[in-house]
Chain A
Amino acid sequence: MTAREYTADEMMTVSASRSLRDGTACFVGIGLPSTAANLARRTHAPELVLIYESGTLGAKPDRLPLSIGDGVLADTADSVVGVPEIFNYWLQPGRIETGFLGGAQVDRFGNINTTVIGGDYEHPKVRLPGAGGAPEIAASCREVLVVMRQSTRAFVDRLDFVTSVGYGDGPGSRERHGLRGRGPVKVITDLGVLEPDPQTLELTLTRLNPGVEVDQARAATGWPLRVADELTVQEPPTGEELDVLRRLRATIEE
């Protein structure tokens, strides 16, 4: 097959999709996580169980949902339950394998801010939407994937607000807080993939997207980015992945 053109966002979405394992349950947020999860279900993971915080368990939408409460999710779900049930019965006890989060800021230990930027909490420079389901998703899913475009504005040395905990301030932090899941196992970006160092838990560049240089990733990171000894390069999106992704996106771009 001849190589095809694709965007950095398409590579990021495909990379996120490939991180989802068939047969597992995934707590899906709207936007890029939802696109990636629906792509996975149409490619390598047909038995992926999609769970949305609106209360739909096992949704199988035939188009991309426009919000976490889109009617297509209720129409195609195995079951529709109330919001307290989704959080208390399904998320809190650790029944869900993968949580999928985005955010405005992330730090070197995978902690996430979706609350405020700049100023103080009462008088922020920018007020963001807030926590939503994220703190408990980050605490309770067995593992967490984070998807964010990489820039010095987003990948910061210090968060303005900790909305959701990754590895806190390093080893032992999750245990001290009583958080049950493993924490963020991958941060997937438009430049590559960061994974926690097994010893220090600091996010370390482990994979580059094709055509991206290490210096570019370093320049887009607000802390001195460490690079894994065995840095690999991702496979570009296959023709099938691109076709399915573009067909999916066309369902919401009238």
Chain B
Amino acid sequence: MARILSLEEAIAELVHDGDTVALEGFTHLIPVAAGHEIIRQGRRGLTLCRMTPDIVYDQMIGAGCASKLVFSWGGNPGVGSLHRFRDAIQNSWPVPLEIEEHSHAGMANRYVAGASGLPFAVLRGYTGTDLPNHTANIKTIECPFTGEALTAVPALNPDVGIVHAQQADRSGNVQMWGITGVQKETVLASRRSLVTVEEIVDELRPRPGAVVLPKWAITAVAEVPGGAHPSYAQGYSERDNAYYRDWDPVARDREAFENWLGTEVLRAERSPR
């Protein structure tokens, strides 16, 4: 049953060194504030999972939180590369980063299998590419009915799944709408889950097409207004495009990055709630 916690309490309780953690969000509703709290609390040795690691993962990798990244597309959308991610892969700075690389279809299906309580998912993908040569978690499987060669990927069941949503009610039921990516699958696939929300309301008003996560499917909810910044929360905030552009020169330079880390995250005010 979901408990309403502060962001600081939730991260302290749910995320441990060495955990496999997924902070998902597909351009929209990225749980950035939760990522910053993980940096502030100094977690180490995390396996970070995400289809589209972007700025917040660049920051967590640069801060030394991660020892492995499971992903399908790593970039600063609309701007270019993730330079902290590159520095970690190419130069092991600040610590070596192991990678497990998939396609979007493969990652999405890993979460689906995880949410479904199945050991693996089947898809028609990866064939002829070099990805299976470098990723042990991609195997060929024969269809037991037709004999067709298909691809299997194992379920992804993170220790902790973290997503951001627009609203929760006071008992911890969550509603999110707009582009909802793999957020539902991430929460359902994870052993423990945290949903940060823009707002806690007295009563959720059902919206067409919205994803509802009932309180009994979630471990904790934390109210963090603006918790997706610089990504956006439909109905609440716009994407801060300048932030994505301005990140590039900071991430390119280790010293600029460490200054940023000191002033913007480590010495920043903690979330008031």
Does B bind A?
yes
- Give the B-binding residues of A (Cβ under 8 A): 30, 53-56, 66-71, 73-74, 79-80, 82-84, 87-88, 91-92, 115, 121, 123-124, 127-136, 139-140, 161-165, 168, 173-174, 177-180
Q: A30-B78, A54-B26, A91-B105 are in contact. List 15 more A-B contacts (CB 8 A).
A: A54-B181, A56-B179, A82-B184, A84-B182, A88-B105, A127-B74, A127-B90, A128-B81, A130-B101, A131-B72, A132-B52, A133-B103, A133-B105, A135-B125, A178-B127
Query: Which secondary structure dominates where chain B touches chain A?
Result: loop
Cross-chain contact B103 with A71 (CB below 8 angstroms): no
| A71 in contact with B128 given A83-B51, A121-B134 (CB within 8 Å) | no
| A135 in contact with B129 given A66-B78, A88-B123, A92-B124 (CB within 8 Å) | yes
Determine which of B77, B89, B131 lies in contact with A127 in the assembled complex, contact meaning CB atoms within 8 Å. B89
Q: Which 4 pairs, one residue from A and one from B, show the smallest C-beta to C-beta distance?
A: A69-B27, A132-B73, A129-B75, A165-B128
Taking CB atoms and an 8 Å cut-off, the chain B residues in 128-167 that contact chain A are: 128-131, 134, 148-149
Chain B contacts for A135, CB-based, 8 A: 103, 105, 125-126, 129, 131
> Is B37 in contact with chain A by the CB < 8 A criterion?
no
Q: Which B residue sits closest to A31, measured CB to CB?
A: B78
| A87 in contact with B234 given A69-B28, A127-B89 (CB within 8 Å) | no
> Is B193 in contact with chain A by the CB < 8 A criterion?
no
Cross-chain contact B108 with A83 (CB below 8 angstroms): yes
* Cα separation A253 to B149 with both chains bound (whole Å): 47
* Cα separation A134 to B73 with both chains bound (whole Å): 10
Cross-chain contact B77 with A67 (CB below 8 angstroms): yes
Cross-chain contact A132 with B27 (CB below 8 angstroms): no
| A129 in contact with B105 given A66-B241, A135-B126, A163-B131 (CB within 8 Å) | no
Q: Which A residue sits closest to B124, measured CB to CB?
A: A92
